[in-house]
Amino acid sequence: MSQDLSGKIALVTGASRGIGRAIALALAARGATIGVHYATGADKAAETLAAIEAAGAAGFLVAADLSGAQPWESVTAQLRTELKARGAEKFDILVNNAGVSKRLAIEEVDEAEFDRVLTVNLKAPFFLIQSLAPLLNDGGRIVNISSMGTRAAYPFMATYAPSKAGLEALTKLLAVHYGPRGITVNAVMPGATATDMNAVSRDPNVRAATAKTIALGRVGEPEDIARVVAFLASPDGGWVTGQIIDASGGQRL
């Protein structure tokens, strides 16, 4: 068994920066061709693609705002075009990483914000999987990026945590649904990770205080999460399905 992904094609949503970018680069380093999805920030997506190509791998861009109207149709159409250009009919790995979060307690959440978070974090992955499943090879991989906010209580994650809990429930039922096709479906729960969306990367005091809540004594890096995803996407991860894997370094145990 190995983590060699040569000849595989992957689509990573939200791959222009942060954890998504690290996942795209990790899969590319193992030989996969990477579809770099982004909603905004085409320049950052182009940088990710350039890094993939500089490492000797191949990739392509997929643009779609997952908070918009039926973006899965656009993603599917773009992916079909890219597959055809490469002489392929199907792809192998789908990583649902794109997500949005705003730190709000329940009293601060209005309906528009609730709908925005649930749309991007749960509705979009749901219908992306539904739309892309016919293009996914038997024996393929689906990896959903969740959050340790589903197992520890963070009152300021009033919309984010429920949206990710729904994604975890979807992960388990789809593992059974797609099992007959040999497709594994798993979720990864990052803890505090140093990305530009997280205060631990901007405030040294927050970073130090957070590190004290983590068994391994430091805040996570995007590459820590990417290595877990790469394992699940690889042949080595072929006997793991329906699992919600904590990748927090032991935060708030």
Q: What is the CATH number of the domain that holds 167?
A: 3.40.50.720
Give the start-end residues of each E strand in 104-248: 136-145, 184-190, 244-247
- Mean pLDDT along residues 132-161: 97
Q: What is the DSSP letter of 122?
A: I
Parent domain of 175? 9-247
Q: What is the per-residue pLDDT across 68-101, written as a single tens digit (0 to 9) for each?
A: 999 999 999 999 999 999 999 999 999 999 999 9
Which residues are CB-neighbours of 7 under 8 A, at least 6 positions away? 31
Indicate whether 3 belongs to any domain. Answer: no
In this structure, are strands 33-38 and 91-96 parallel, antiparallel, or unpaired?
A: unpaired
Number of domains the chain is built from: 1
How many other CB atoms sit within 10 Å of the CB of residue 42?
A: 12
Q: What is the per-residue pLDDT across 58-76, written as a single tens digit (0 to 9) for each?
A: 999 999 999 999 999 999 9
* Residues comprising the chain, all counted: 253
Question: What is the percentage of the chain residues whose pLDDT exceeds 90?
Answer: 94
Q: Are 126 and 84 in contact (CB under 8 A)?
A: no
Give the pLDDT score at 197.
73
**34 phi, psi to nearest 5 deg:** -115, 125
**CB-side neighbour CA atoms (13 Å) of 214:** 21
Question: Which tokens in the block code for residue 75?
Answer: 């993603």
Q: What is the DSSP letter of 89?
A: S
d(CA 25, CA 204): 27
Residue with tokens 């990864």, as numbered in its chain:
188
Q: For residue 67, what are the β-bridge partners?
A: none
- Mean pLDDT along residues 233-248: 98
Give the pLDDT score at 42.
96
Q: Are 22 and 226 in contact (CB under 8 A)?
A: yes
d(CA 49, CA 121): 24
Indicate whether 101 belongs to any domain. Answer: yes
Considering only CA atoms, which of 90, 76, 27 is closest in space to residue 55?
A: 27
Instruction: Label residue 2 by pLDDT band (50, 70, 90).
Output: confident
Give the pLDDT score at 119.
98
d(CA 182, CA 164): 25
Q: What is the per-residue pLDDT across 182-239, written as a single tens digit (0 to 9) for each?
A: 999 999 999 999 987 776 767 889 899 999 999 999 999 999 999 999 999 999 999 9
Indicate whether 82 belongs to any domain. Answer: yes
- Mean pLDDT along residues 2-30: 97
Indicate whether 252 belongs to any domain. Answer: no
Give the pLDDT score at 1.
52
Indicate whether 253 belongs to any domain. Answer: no
Residue type, 117: V
- What angle do helix axes 71-85 and 124-132 make, rounded to 10 degrees? 40
Q: Which residues are catalytic?
A: 160
Residue 157 has pLDDT above 60, yes or no: yes
pTM reported for the whole predicted model: 0.97
Q: Are 218 and 211 in contact (CB under 8 A)?
A: yes
